[in-house]
Amino acid sequence: MSSKMTAALPTQMIIFPIKPDATIENASSKDGQIWAQVLDILETWSGFRRLYWGRHVEETEKTQIHIVRDTMHQHFSFLSSPQWTQLSQVIAPICSEGPDSFIVRHANIQNFSPNPAALGKGASVTGTAIYLTSTPEDWEKAWALWTTIVSRVEGCMGVTGGWMVEPVEGYEACYTVWVGWESIEIHDKYHHDKDFWKKRIVLQLHNDGWREYGHVAFTHSRSRPEANLLTNDENISSGTKPRIPLSDPIRAPNVAVPSNAPMYFGGTFAPATSLHPELARI
């Protein structure tokens, strides 16, 4: 494992259709109190380590929340529990659509740069996309190379990503990437930089394109109180027992999904962003 990489964290990624005018950021408002109940339900389920959430910048009717637990199985157990049903009822007043529109996916997310500020750790926005990989092992090599390039770009605040559990558009091995940026303007500026145009070929290797490019403003988070949430690498170096077994799979095709657990709640996957013929965007 690279010195910059950390152990994969089992992460549940949920997109809720929160009304754009719902004041969930204001904890004292009625909407904020409803949202706090939703977060409480997520936090009290077994294995909770951390959650972070924010609105999609390009699609303000979408609010994304990621929950990190000790094991992937705990995520799927939650989706089959009465608490998930309760959450769906509690959140209804602040949603523009019903539970069939909730999108739930899972991924094993790793850090690929030291102390990344992406995903609710300081970056004002986190750029994201899903890559449909054609040869997973070769894609891992291409992605590892790209992380050394983009992490040095001015305004980049850390690189994370990982294999998804669920297929997307028939692709079994899909990779979700999350890169922190100081601003969307800085991110977009880099896409017009000569350095990017020279090196972008790296991102075009071993995949059949990307989907769902955009930015999420992960500006809120909660963590398990007693935890400094050491990674496995840090636990090993300190002699502490890892919180997540080293045997946990990090590649989606190897993840065993309980037969009675929904892969996502109702609905379908989010609409795919059209492929750009020339440019991979993250």
pLDDT in tens, 44-57: 999 999 999 999 99
Report d(CA 214, CA 57) in Å as an integer.
7
Please report which confidence band the pLDDT of residue 240 belongs to, taking 50, 70 and 90 as the band edges. very low
Give the separation between CA 142 and CA 147, rounded to whole angstroms.
9
CATH 3.40.50.12780 fits 9-236, yes or no: no
For residue 5, what pLDDT is reported? 67
Could you give the percent of the chain with pLDDT greater than 70?
76
Q: What's the whole-number average pLDDT of the chain?
A: 81
Write out pLDDT tens, residues 56-88. Answer: 999 999 999 999 999 999 999 999 999 999 999
Enumerate the domain spans of the chain. Answer: 9-236
Residue 193 pLDDT level (bands cut at 50, 70, 90): confident
Q: Which residue has the higher pLDDT, 195 or 76?
A: 76
Q: Where are the alpha helices (DSSP H) in the chain?
A: 30-44, 72-79, 82-90, 136-150, 184-191, 194-199, 232-238
More confident site: 256 or 9: 9
Residue 250's pLDDT band, with cuts at 50, 70 and 90, is very low
Residue 275 pLDDT greater than 50, yes or no: no
Please tell me the distance from the alpha carbon of residue 282 to that of residue 112, in angstroms, as a whole number. 14
Backbone angles phi, psi at 9, to 5 degrees: -105, 125
Residue 188 clears pLDDT 80, i.e. is over it: yes
pLDDT at 19 over 60: yes
CA dihedral (257, 65, 212, 11) positive or negative: negative
Q: How far apart are the C-alpha atoms of 133 and 245, rounded to whole Å?
A: 26
Which bin fits 212, alpha (ψ -120 to 50), beta or left (φ > 0)? left
Quickly state the pLDDT bin for 147 (edges 50, 70, 90).
confident
pLDDT score of 226: 65
- Do the beta carbons of residue 183 and residue 155 sit within 8 Å? yes
